[in-house]
Structure formats: structure tokens, C-alpha cells
């Protein structure tokens, strides 16, 4: 029974991580990556794979840091156009 639970948790984690890649809302993306990587940490501990465990801990910590930066207003989205750039392109048209 415990085997089935661990595999269901791993499957859920894999689905959440894959879905989070396609999200545009960074806060929700980071939350899903946190939950998904947490599920996959449980699975990697269960199967005893050190490399997979390190990778999932890295993803978990990176998502946690970015989520906290967004929460406290420290995160700057480098790829997003600023409002000045939008006004300039609108005036040129």
C-alpha cells in the first residue's frame, strides 16, 4: 500500500512540475514547482537515487527563493516590457 502512495505522489509531482513550465503567472508557477519538487523529493528518497534527490532539492530551493522574492517585492521580471517602452511604441504608431 505504501508503494502505491509513493508512486501516486511521484506521478502528481511530475505532472505539477511539467504543468508549471507552461504557466505565465510566476507566483503560481513557483508554488507548483515547490509542491511538485517536494513530491519528487519524497519519491527520490524512496528509490534511493542521490542524483535525482539533489536535482529536486535544487529545484525546490530555487522555487522557494523566487517565490519569497515575489512575496516580498524583491523580484524583478527582466523579460517584461516596461510601461515607458509601451508608451514609446504606442506614440510611434
pLDDT digits (tens, 9 = 90+) for 56-92: 999 999 999 999 998 888 877 665 566 555 555 555 5
C-alpha cell at 24: 505565465
For residues 52 and 19, is the Cβ–Cβ distance under 8 A? no
Q: Where are the domains of the chain?
A: 2-72
pLDDT digits (tens, 9 = 90+) for 1-15: 999 999 999 999 999
Task: Say how far apart CA 39 and CA 9 lie, in whole Å.
Answer: 6
pLDDT digits (tens, 9 = 90+) for 28-50: 999 999 999 999 999 999 999 99
Could you tell me which residues come within 8 angstroms of residue 34 by beta carbon, excluding any fewer than 6 positions away?
A: 60, 63, 64, 67
The three state secondary structure string of 56-84 is HHHHHHHHHHHHHHHHCCCCCCCCCCCHH
Task: Say how far apart CA 62 and CA 73 lie, in whole Å.
Answer: 16
Residue 83's pLDDT is 58
Amino acid at each position: 500500500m505504501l508503494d502505491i502512495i509513493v508512486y501516486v505522489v511521484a506521478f502528481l509531482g511530475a505532472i505539477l512540475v511539467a504543468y508549471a513550465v507552461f504557466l505565465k503567472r510566476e507566483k503560481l508557477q513557483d508554488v507548483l514547482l515547490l509542491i511538485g519538487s517536494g513530491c519528487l523529493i519524497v519519491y527520490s528518497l524512496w528509490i534511493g537515487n542521490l542524483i535525482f534527490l539533489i536535482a529536486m532539492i535544487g529545484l525546490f530551493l530555487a522555487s522557494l527563493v523566487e517565490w519569497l522574492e515575489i512575496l516580498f517585492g524583491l523580484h524583478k521580471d527582466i523579460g517584461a516590457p516596461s510601461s515607458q517602452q509601451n508608451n514609446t511604441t504606442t506614440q510611434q504608431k
